[in-house]
Structures are given as C-alpha cells and as structure tokens.
Amino acid sequence: MLLSDPLDPVLRTTAPLPRGAVVRVPDPLLVREPSADAYDVVILGAGCSALSLCLALVENGATGPILLIDARTEYADDRTWSYWDVEDTRFSHLARAAWGSWRVRTASDDVHSSAPDTPYLSLAANDFYRYALGRLAEHPNVELLLGEPVAGYRTIPSGYEATTARFTVRSSRVADARGLRPSPAEIAAIRSRSTWIPQAFVGQHIVTRDPVFDPGEAVLMDFDVDQSRGLRFGYLLPVSPCEALVENVYLSDAPVTLEEHRSELRAYLRDRHGLDEGDYEVLAEERGVIPMTDHAFRARSDSGVAVVGTLGGATRPSTGYTFLRIQRASDATARWLLGQSRDALPEPRCSLLDRVFLRFLADRPDAAPKVFALMFGRLPPDALVRFLSDRSRPSDIARLILALPKRVFLVEAGRTVLGLGLGISLVRRALSRAGSRSRAGSR
C-alpha cells in the first residue's frame, strides 16, 4: 500500500537497513555448484541457526571446506528475533532497539514492569543476515549454495552424502538446520504423546505520519482483543514514535487466513492507536508458526550429525523464544563437529515447569490472560527475565509457583507428571518445598 505522498522508509527508519530491504549475498561466498570433492562439514540450511553455527565453526578455528545448502534464492527481511539481554551474543550489537520496560494487558488488568539492566532486544533479519554473510565471506573455506532444496542425507563409508535435485555432496560431518516442517500426520503422532501448541503470527513493520508510539515500552502481550477463535494477543515493539513492529498472534489451532490476520492487525492499530489505513505504510511483513511443544527433540541423530535450530529443539517449549538457545548451542556444536570436544552435545532442555505451563495453555486458554498478568505483575522483574531467558534460579521457580493459581496448576501438574509416569504426590511435595524455600528467602 502506498500513501498519496509516500513516506520515505530510508529516511524514517532507525535501522541500518530499512525493514523490507533484501540482503545481497557477498560474491566471494556464493557458489553455483560445490567446488570440493568432499567437505569437512556440510550444513543443511542457511538460516539463523545455520549461519550462527557456521560463524562459530570459523571462530573456533575451522579451516577445512564448509558448505551451506539452502532452498532459498535470496535473503529477504523475513523475521524479527527478540530476547532479553542477559548474556553476550555475536549479534546483540545489531539490535534495532532496546526496551527496559514492557507491558502485559488483559480486559481487566494493565501490568507494567521494568528491568533496565537486562533490556528486551530486537534484531531485524536483514541486519542479521547482512552481518553474518559478510563475516563468513571473509573466510575462503566457506561456500554458500542457494536455490537447492536438500532431499536428504545418508551414511557412506567415508562419512556422509547429502543430495539435492542437482548435486550429491560428500562430507565428514553434517549439521541439519533445515527447520521443523512436520506433516499433518507427523503432528498428529507428536500430539498423541506430547503437548503441541502452534504459535501462529503475522507481523507488519509500519511507519506512521504522526508520532503515536511510546518507544520506551514494549507491549509483549495485549490480550484485550477478541478471544472467540482461540487464545490471541497483540504484540507491539515501537522502534520510534513513528515506527513499530506490530503482530497478531494466536496460540491455538484456529484456521486463521493471512487476510484475516491482516484485517485484525488493521483493527488493532485503529482501536489502540487511532490509525486508519492511510495513516501508515507497511514496510515489510513476516509470518510464521512457532511450535510450542514438549516433544523430545534430539541434538544428534547420528555419530557425525548435529541437529540444530528448531529441528533440534532450540525453541523454548513454554514461550516460543528460540534465538538465545540457538546462540548458546552454536559454540558447543561447533567444537563437537571439529572434534575439539568429546562431550556429548547437550540435549534440548524441557523442565517440568515448562511441561506444566504448556499443558495449562492447551487445557485452559480461557485462564491464560489472567495468569500471564499475575506472572508479570507478581514476579520481581529480574526473576521474570531469568525465567523467560531460561536462566532461572531455584528461588525464581519458587516465586513463580507462588505467584500463580495453585489449584489450576496443581491439576495441570498432576496430569503432566502422570503422563510422565510419576505421581501427584510428587507435585504436592514440590509445591510445598517451593513455598518453604520462598518463605525462608523472604525473611
């Protein structure tokens, strides 16, 4: 959509690259066909987890040939990764914006919280791709082959053999970073033994004529929207008074079409910020489905194959956050692929609390807005950030349990542990111990 006097996204955006700009792959990195008879490592996929792993490989001393293979033909601005700044990563300096305060809203509650020492960061995909590809282009042993869907790989006497429509590539080791795209039958099989909630979203990067956003506060969840089709919330990251990422998010199986998502985004911007369609321009759009599940993924599928990214269980089951988990795994995986570490690759972590919370979202979506408001309102901000960033201390878990409705979560915990072959008394004892620790710590 163009306005009658179009906004200039280059002048109005605050990012190094305008949202929506496609990244040009550096010429030294791009190949039309594999150049080596055999590679030390072949990485299947060339998205966030694959590029992060490849950077970790070269930074950990990899000098042998490495090949990344991906079906994509270009690097579009197709994602935004957000997380709390609780640890250094290779990419945090690329953040478009940081928020030390955030908000959760329901039909009856409006909760504000702040943790300025660990702000919420947001990275644009095109900034990430440009930086990662530029860094990899500095290493002549790295090649990138685009437009080649990977059919699969198999074990051969000398290592592994990966196949595309046009090429067969041999390597000593393989990293599978192709993402998680299960068929309906595979999802049904997972659901028969695990909890599975699709987090389906459509986001738009917009610039407005007039300043309407508060860039000092991120809106992480706005549940004060129509809930008739399933658990739904709005998500708003204001980069400046005139620019924001706004998302429409469902935590349900609701069959919402792309146009219905867009219609709900238009309504949200109108109702919350008084914006009609002619008051803003859409720079870019992103959409996806994040699997929130306690299904047991494996970090390794064979003696010389590492599985990374969503396919390897990098997505936090109870929240959908993935970026930090990818970064944490990259160096350990790189050292393992290079033979520098004999330690087993760490398996994806899914705590009992993750399982219980996920089961609660699946069974009681009607109660979820109130529970999120309680969690964000009652838990100290630092403890909340640690929990959401997968760095919880025992005292944080205790505080979280005490902040949530006991009856509801005891029922869900019982169902979860019974499904795991444990007993309800275990849950009662855990809750009791958590409460005792929390009371002791408050004295």
Question: Domain boundary at 277, 292, 307, which?
Answer: 292
Structure confidence at residue 170 (pLDDT): 96
Q: Is the confidence at residue 124, as pLDDT, over 60?
A: yes
Residue type, 236: L
Is 55 part of a structural domain of the chain?
no
Of 235, 262, 263, which Cα lies nearest the Cα of 105?
Answer: 235
Q: Is the confidence at residue 87, as pLDDT, over 70?
A: yes
What are phi and psi for residue 347, nearest 5 degrees? -75, 150
Query: Does one domain contain both 203 and 288?
Result: yes
Query: 312 pLDDT band (50/70/90 cuts)?
Result: confident
Give the separation between CA 331 and CA 326, rounded to whole angstroms. 10
Each residue's pLDDT tens digit, 318-363: 788 889 999 999 999 999 999 887 776 666 666 677 788 888 888 8
How many folded domains does the chain comprise? 2
Q: Is the confidence at residue 204, as pLDDT, over 90?
A: yes
Percent of the chain with pLDDT over 90: 62
Instruction: Find the mean pLDDT for residues 402-419.
Output: 63
- For residues 286 and 399, the model is more confident at 286
CB atoms within 10 A of CB 339: 10
Is 403 part of a structural domain of the chain?
yes
Query: 403 pLDDT band (50/70/90 cuts)?
Result: confident
Give the separation between CA 428 and CA 417, rounded to whole angstroms. 11
Q: What is the DSSP letter of 365?
A: G
Structure confidence at residue 3 (pLDDT): 33
Instruction: Find the mean pLDDT for residues 64-86.
Output: 95
Query: 186 pLDDT band (50/70/90 cuts)?
Result: confident
Residue type, 105: R
Q: Is the confidence at residue 246, as pLDDT, over 80?
A: yes
Give the separation between CA 345 and CA 309, rounded to whole angstroms. 13
Q: Is the confidence at residue 433, as pLDDT, over 60?
A: no
Question: Domain boundary at 268, 292, 316, which?
Answer: 292
For the chain, the average pLDDT equals 85
Each residue's pLDDT tens digit, 265-310: 999 999 999 999 999 999 999 999 988 887 776 655 567 889 988 8
Structure confidence at residue 6 (pLDDT): 35
- For residues 429 and 222, the model is more confident at 222
- For residues 204 and 438, the model is more confident at 204
- For residues 298 and 221, the model is more confident at 221
118-122, 258-262, 375-379: the lowest-pLDDT one = 375-379
Q: What is the DSSP letter of 210?
A: S
Report the predicted TM-score, pTM, of the whole model to 2 decimal places: 0.86
Is 154 part of a structural domain of the chain?
no
Structure confidence at residue 193 (pLDDT): 78
Is 214 part of a structural domain of the chain?
yes
The set of residues, in sequence order, having a beta carbon less than 8 Å from that of 251 and lying 6+ positions away, is 197, 198, 199, 230, 231, 232, 233, 292, 361, 365, 368
Is 385 part of a structural domain of the chain?
yes
Instruction: Find the mean pLDDT for residues 29-33.
Output: 94
Is 150 part of a structural domain of the chain?
no
Q: Is the confidence at residue 215, as pLDDT, over 80?
A: yes
Q: How many CA atoms lie within 13 A of 218 on its CB side?
A: 23
Q: Which CATH number fits the domain that encloses residue 220?
A: 3.30.9.10
CA distances (Å), 17 to each of 64, 88, 210, 246, 330, in order? 32, 22, 22, 18, 26
Q: Is the confidence at residue 7, as pLDDT, over 80?
A: no
Give the separation between CA 265 and CA 259, rounded to whole angstroms. 10
Query: 129 pLDDT band (50/70/90 cuts)?
Result: very high
The set of residues, in sequence order, having a beta carbon less than 8 Å from that of 319 and lying 6+ positions away, is 292, 388
Is 212 part of a structural domain of the chain?
yes
Q: Which of 182-186, 196-200, 346-350, 412-416 has the highest mean pLDDT?
A: 196-200
User: What is the residue range of 415's domain?
Assistant: 364-442
CB atoms within 10 A of CB 364: 17
Structure confidence at residue 10 (pLDDT): 35
Question: Domain boundary at 274, 292, 310, which?
Answer: 292
Of 392, 51, 15, 9, which Cα lies nearest the Cα of 239?
Answer: 15
Instruction: Find the mean pLDDT for residues 123-131.
Output: 94
Is 421 part of a structural domain of the chain?
yes
